Chains A and B, each alone.
Chain A
């Protein structure tokens, strides 16, 4: 056993155990750790955004190299950013709608085009598969399952006609495919949560207590 002599490791270990203490019951130590996390995260985010984006991308080009590089266009985001702060003043808070409208205009456009190119077209392309692959039974079964699963799941989400008869049967099959998908997602979620626990346990046993044996 080699106990850590680093103060930062001891603080991290205390915070980890403090958060874990919630598993027993809610307590003041847990609340302290939680509040510390929220406060530190918010402070870190503000400082990082200032130093990594606002300062090098706007302040410096505007106030240090303005005339040299003709960064006139940067006045537009600066103006819009200032307008965002009008929310603090009830008489002029409507001004903040302009930058918000700008953000709302840009983001959906980017995401819709990205979804159209990356998901819709490419995914349809990815399902155009041969249903019979000579000499490869595994791929054949996989392709058939994929196509049947895709069509039946799509039918399940088709609500313009009552799910009866053949349509109802196909929709029911789609439910089974969805169930398998939810099961796989749940299994992966368990794995993710256990991995996080292992990460913290490794930290406590190795970095803090020094008892880990590999």
Chain B
């Protein structure tokens, strides 16, 4: 049996094993391959938050769940740290049912680091069913759309919500999104109607969909997947989960690219034979 025919009949589980080993090795042994260099997309994200005047209110939509937390959680945590470091007030909400506990965890960690208190410096309004209808309704009244926060406290009794009526009081929207409903819907329903500046951190699989929004200026910045989150962490000078995962990511990518080339080389002679 030739090498090429052996490759053609290679059990795919060997490839799974190869990817697993290449992901585990850099994490266990802690070696680094290449530095993470921020792109203009992540710089735009960082700069947009830097431009918001201190003390202003930012709407933080954490529209993701555990299925994509490997990508969205690092960017959400880095964003919360950045917002708190800049003394911005945070009003958070989630349009994914499993989002509230993840965002609570983000605020617990970042809040402890920057001495920020729940309901005074930030509030998590929690999950609300309705997708675009929730966004549209918030344009009329945020307190009417979210009468109570995630813990059942009436928003009228929450200090950070004082004076917040609708998007007019919001200086920036941050959307950390896993798909639908998420960044696309925030752009369509809120940015285009209420003209609030917006940045987005999205999963890598959905990132190409948002490049046109970035190019057209509807988004000020964009973090795409774990790589985007790592770039943002570098800009914040606070390397965390995403930066640590990038070496494993790079090794796995090289291996997959190598296997794609090898796979094509293995099947090329067979295809030629079939054609002739």
Contact = CB atoms under 8 A, between A and B. Distances in A.
Contact of A200 (B70, B73, B126, B205): B70
B23 interface: yes
A38 interface: no
A198 B218 CA distance: 31
A192 B205 contact: yes
Interface in A112-132: 114-115, 117-119, 121-123, 125-126
B207 interface: yes
Interface string A190-213: 111111111111100100000111
Nearest to B29: A213
Given A52-B128, A122-B216, A201-B27, A194 B19 contact: yes
Interface in B154-213: 184-185, 187-189, 191-193, 203-205, 207-208, 212
Given A190-B253, A205-B28, A213-B30, A197 B147 contact: no
A114 B97 contact: no
Contacts of A48: 97, 127
Interface in B203-250: 203-205, 207-208, 212, 215-218, 224-227, 241, 244-245, 248-249
Interface stretch (A26-34, A86-94, A169-177, A181-189): A181-189
Contact of B147 (A24, A57, A126, A202): A57
Interface residues of B, number: 60
B128 A126 contact: no
Interface residues of A, number: 49
Given A53-B129, A188-B224, A214-B244, A196 B70 contact: yes
19 contacts: A44-B97, A53-B128, A110-B133, A118-B188, A118-B191, A123-B212, A190-B256, A192-B71, A195-B204, A195-B245, A196-B68, A197-B23, A199-B70, A201-B24, A201-B248, A202-B241, A205-B27, A212-B28, A213-B28
